Structure 1
């Protein structure tokens, strides 16, 4: 085993049980894991030493919601939306056609390029979804491609989103027969999660229930797109199925917030002990791109709901992998403190992936994922929004940036 001492860290944000922020700190990495944390003056020796030169460090970002398997360009759609057209889910069909036409090798390299962009900005754990194939053959192809990247350690989780939209020329119920039948059987071995877009223009409550029940019965974990375009059944279905997360959550009723909060009764947020509830996944970059109301993260946190920040990287409504951008929006516009925003983009997203025991914080025994900023304190993420502040990134103990 080899070890590395990362020392002279000006500010170390641990996102641990005590929410520690250490100054003049150091971390020892050994065999891909965090082996020691403490004051730089007390650090043990290691095989190699890296001097952070007073920079701030925090856990690698965890991105719990992305759509990276796509080809084609939808910038004209974006430009039209900025000129006043409203967002509707139908644009997904444009991406479907381009993605179906792309070879395996092209799609693989496109995903790898987007992952590389995310890593360059400090992201070290990433989930991504199918959902632009929308046929048995294509969804199977995309799931297999993603599973290969996951098994090679290039991504962390694969979500089956065959129920992203009804493809052109199909009827909803007929298409769902494919989704819960041959499509689900074909992707089950390659996917970790099942997801549904439950909203206006996509799938209704009963259709969503049908898909989630089939996925759960196949052994997949449950996730949900919900309450993005209007208040609707997404949150109640997420609670009903014990989903790991319901994402977007732009339009919530008081009952929705209460229902989400009720799922956290068996969870100790400070110690991360017990059974986690349904995480509210907030996607602020998407909200800006669609000119939607920002998800009510402040209201959710005050109610006791765990919140995640994720990029929702996709070609139509959030073409970015920058979690730093999301943290800045959360602090500047969503009324989160810096500590709350950083937690949401690390531990909150880790809980949304049910990987909180492995990633999301800097604690002894966890995977050694660290993000060193070219700044003396993490507040610079919001103080200097949009600036390229990533100085170095370690993933599983290996320096990758």
Structure 2
């Protein structure tokens, strides 16, 4: 697989020049576009960061840059619709204790909050940027990033501001946990979240989220947070039904949230609510792996007609990974999804969870986000678990990661 640049910039027509990339010699292209489907022996033309054409061969297409896929499979870039990327500190000891039998509880968030509060803004930005580079190496081309480890006005504001430098899908999660200083007055903390904290964070955020769970926020408190966020112009997201049966899923569906995430414990009424709504059930299997909880039954959701996404939930406590391939392997093996369903959940599903039509597919007009796999098909992401099969990652028409730079890619 080789990468070349044209010395003389390509020009088309008489207008302004468009920066272009051709990904050619693709053995199998999985577009995730229902009209285009799968194509063999084709090339993808990206102009100004957007997919402009899919052609048979590419010898007649001029471009500023060419990427020879060498007969490999190309899929859309993964859309990671649930991450907590901005944080400091380490919770390896907690993980080891959990593997030795200690239970998982929401309170561990406080450990990361203390470390994050102690870190400088510059340190937090540098750590988050490094994690974004790791995401590229895993084929993730778009990230949703939540706050939630400041839990005071200034702490949440700077986390949202730091996240806004890395993505346009920032989620304000001041209602992640009641911090220790507010333990005797949780409703007072909800007042703070809905008032001064929301006002400070909304300029940097697109979404608001709440952890509706025992040990975090009950349904009434969660409703207050979500309704305040909606009044401030933010879209709604919910952490729900992770640690046990609860009201998070049905609250999310009732309020028209874009997604409800975790969905580990679902009643028939929860599944019915999801199937009858546009709210996406975002499943986070790496979390269930790390916490030794049951895996969500994706088959049950899909068969009922619910919308499903798969995301990494990158965070230091319960899912310290950015490997979407690992999540897909778990989704197929332990959540009863097919390979095609899992891939769709990590691409078009993630895009739907963020209410984006420009991501998660390689149809004409989509953002030029693609992953070149060192494999003949996406099946190998699950068939060869633990292997680094991301040969190159293209984000917005730019090659942001390649394992073959030493060979000219």
Fold-level similarity (TM above 0.5): yes
Partner of 1:360: 360
Residue 188 of structure 1 aligns to a residue in which SS?
Answer: helix
Equivalent pair of 1:26/1:43 in contact (CA under 8 Å)? no
Which of the residues 231, 252, 258 maps onto 1:244? 258
Separation of aligned partners in 1, 2:291 and 2:241: 14
Deviation at 1:378, TM superposition (A): 1.2
Partner of 1:332: 333
**2:191 aligned with 1:190:** no
Deviation at 1:324, TM superposition (A): 1.2
Structure 1 unaligned residues grouped into runs of 5+: 264-276
Residue 189 of structure 1 aligns to a residue in which SS?
Answer: helix
Which of the residues 211, 214, 219 maps onto 1:200? 214
Separation of aligned partners in 2, 1:323 and 1:400: 17
**2:48 aligned with 1:31:** yes
Deviation at 1:19, TM superposition (A): 6.7
Partner of 1:323: 324
Partner of 2:97: 80
Equivalent pair of 1:362/1:368 in contact (CA under 8 Å)? yes
Deviation at 1:376, TM superposition (A): 1.5
Equivalent pair of 2:168/2:206 in contact (CA under 8 Å)? no
* Higher alpha-carbon deviation: 12-21 or 365-374: 12-21
Separation of aligned partners in 2, 1:185 and 1:225: 21
Separation of aligned partners in 2, 1:298 and 1:135: 40
* Number of equivalenced pairs: 382
Separation of aligned partners in 1, 2:65 and 2:211: 48
* Shift >4 Å, 4+ stretches: none
Partner of 1:313: 314
Partner of 2:407: none
Which of the residues 134, 143, 149 maps onto 1:117? 134
Distance 1:137 1:48, change over 3 A: closer
Deviation at 1:30, TM superposition (A): 1.1
Structure 2 unaligned residues grouped into runs of 5+: 1-17, 402-409
Post-superposition CA distance 1:159-188 (Å, at most 9, x none): 000000000131211111110011011111
Separation of aligned partners in 1, 2:187 and 2:389: 48
Separation of aligned partners in 2, 1:135 and 1:184: 10
Separation of aligned partners in 2, 1:216 and 1:19: 36
Q: 1:147-296 maps to which residues of 2 (within 5 A)?
A: 147=164, 149=165, 154-170=166-182, 171-263=185-277, 277-296=278-297
Deviation at 1:334, TM superposition (A): 1.6
Separation of aligned partners in 1, 2:65 and 2:398: 12
Partner of 2:25: 8
Equivalent pair of 1:298/1:335 in contact (CA under 8 Å)? yes
* Higher alpha-carbon deviation: 114-123 or 18-27: 18-27
Residue 214 of structure 2 aligns to a residue in which SS?
Answer: coil
Deviation at 1:45, TM superposition (A): 4.2
Separation of aligned partners in 2, 1:163 and 1:122: 30
Separation of aligned partners in 1, 2:325 and 2:132: 15
Residue 145 of structure 2 aligns to a residue in which SS?
Answer: strand
Equivalent pair of 2:236/2:258 in contact (CA under 8 Å)? yes
Distance 1:96 1:47, change over 3 A: closer
Partner of 2:118: 101
Distance 1:174 1:48, change over 3 A: closer
Deviation at 1:43, TM superposition (A): 6.7
TM-score by length of 2: 0.91
Separation of aligned partners in 2, 1:236 and 1:174: 25
Separation of aligned partners in 2, 1:3 and 1:91: 47
Residue 27 of structure 1 aligns to a residue in which SS?
Answer: strand
Partner of 1:271: none
Deviation at 1:41, TM superposition (A): 6.9
Partner of 1:376: 376
Distance 1:169 1:3, change over 3 A: closer
Separation of aligned partners in 2, 1:123 and 1:144: 21
Equivalent pair of 1:308/1:348 in contact (CA under 8 Å)? yes
Residue 160 of structure 1 aligns to a residue in which SS?
Answer: strand
Partner of 2:106: 89
Equivalent pair of 1:280/1:308 in contact (CA under 8 Å)? yes
Deviation at 1:23, TM superposition (A): 1.5
Residue 50 of structure 1 aligns to a residue in which SS?
Answer: strand
Equivalent pair of 2:329/2:385 in contact (CA under 8 Å)? yes
Residue 181 of structure 2 aligns to a residue in which SS?
Answer: coil
Partner of 2:14: none
TM-score by length of 1: 0.93
